Structure 1
Amino acid sequence: MSKNIIKEFKGQYYFLSNYYNAEVTYNGITYKNNEAAFQAQKDPKKAASFAHLDSAQAKRKGRGVKLRHNWDKIKEQIMYEICLAKFTQNENLKIKLLETGDAYLEEGNDWGDKEWGVVNGKGKNKLGKTLMRIREELK
């Protein structure tokens, strides 16, 4: 593993966060940010209603939707596809992602997300791993 570690997606690395406002088009709908695009996929029939939401609104709304039957099986692939869209549809963000070089990307957080991120050194860091995969593919 690289000695260079980006431990959280804040400050100069906020662009790595799903909360970062960068338009992304996924399944024909343009969202303000990745969080809205991701939360919308929990119930595709309501996806368009997420398009104009900021990330916090999208996360709240996403908690209240009825999950599609196969959500647990497909959510990681959906996250990958949405993140790939973000970094291929926004050239400036693609460049910034590539400029992270071989740094280990860790979505350190204090809101308790140990699935997509890391809390106090513990977590699966699925978002960080997804971004590192995309970075390699874009090289």
Structure 2
Amino acid sequence: MNKIDEFRGKFYFLSNFYSAPVTYEGITYQNNEAAFQAMKVLSNDIRKQFAELPPNHAKRKGRNVKLRSDWESVKEQYMYEIVSAKFSQNEVLRRRLLDTGSCELIEGNTWGDVIWGVCRGRGQNKLGKILMRVRNELKDEKEAE
């Protein structure tokens, strides 16, 4: 196997919808989707409202907030930092990510996301690329120990 082209079943842990608490900027969220959606605003009070939300509710709430003015220029950095936090803070998930070896990670989807994933063979796969970057960084850390 040289690629993982959907984050379901055995590989659902790669999804931002996977339930794994992540502490980011002082708030613990129940999943990466909630942490990412919360970063769309600058208010810590509003961010805390995302903390306990399941991913589908967080995504819906994220569509209804007033976006911070710099969102387009900072969202990829936030995604990277949140994904990195998920796998750094959870030993079991870190091992599972490292166990994907050198497989290409592709967030294949049917809902039309061609920015973070790939749909019908088209897309930028930004989430998959971030996951591979984090995996390489974790691999380097492990080798440096």
Match of 1:4 in 2: 2
- Name the structure 1 match of 2:142: none
Structure 2, unmatched stretches of 5+, are: 140-145
Q: Deviations over 1:38-77 (max 9, x none)?
A: 0000013111100000000000000000110100000000
Of 37, 40, 63 in structure 1, the residue corresponding to residue 38 of structure 2 is 40
Q: Identity over the aligned pairs, expressed in percent?
A: 61
Residue equivalent to 1:67: 67
Root-mean-square deviation (CA, aligned residues, Å) is 0.7
Ranges of 4+ aligned residues in structure 1 off by more than 6 Å: none
Is residue 31 of structure 1 aligned with residue 29 of structure 2? Answer: yes
Q: Distance in 2 between matches of 1:107 and 1:124?
A: 10
SS in 2 for 1:112: coil
The aligned runs of 1:1-139 (5 Å cut-off) are 4-45=2-43, 46-139=46-139
Quick one: which amino acid aligns to residue 108 of structure 1?
A: G
1:38 partner letter: F
Cα separation, 1, equivalents of 2:103 and 2:28? 30
TM-score (norm. length: structure 1):
0.97
Partners of 2:106 and 2:130 in 1: CA distance: 10
Rounded Cα–Cα distance in structure 2 between residues aligned with 1:44 and 1:124: 27
The 2-side partners of 1:134 and 1:44 are apart by: 25
C-alpha distance in structure 1 between counterparts of 2:32 and 2:2, whole Å? 25
Amino acid in structure 1 at the alignment position of 2:32: N
In the aligned structure 1, how far is the partner of 2:42 from the partner of 2:80?
17
Secondary structure of 1:53's counterpart equals coil
> What is the TM-score when the length of structure 2 is the normalising length?
0.93
- Distance of 2:42 and 2:16 partners within structure 1: 19
Query: What do the CA deviations read for 1:89-122 (whole angstroms, capped 9, x no partner)?
Result: 0000000000000000000001111000000110
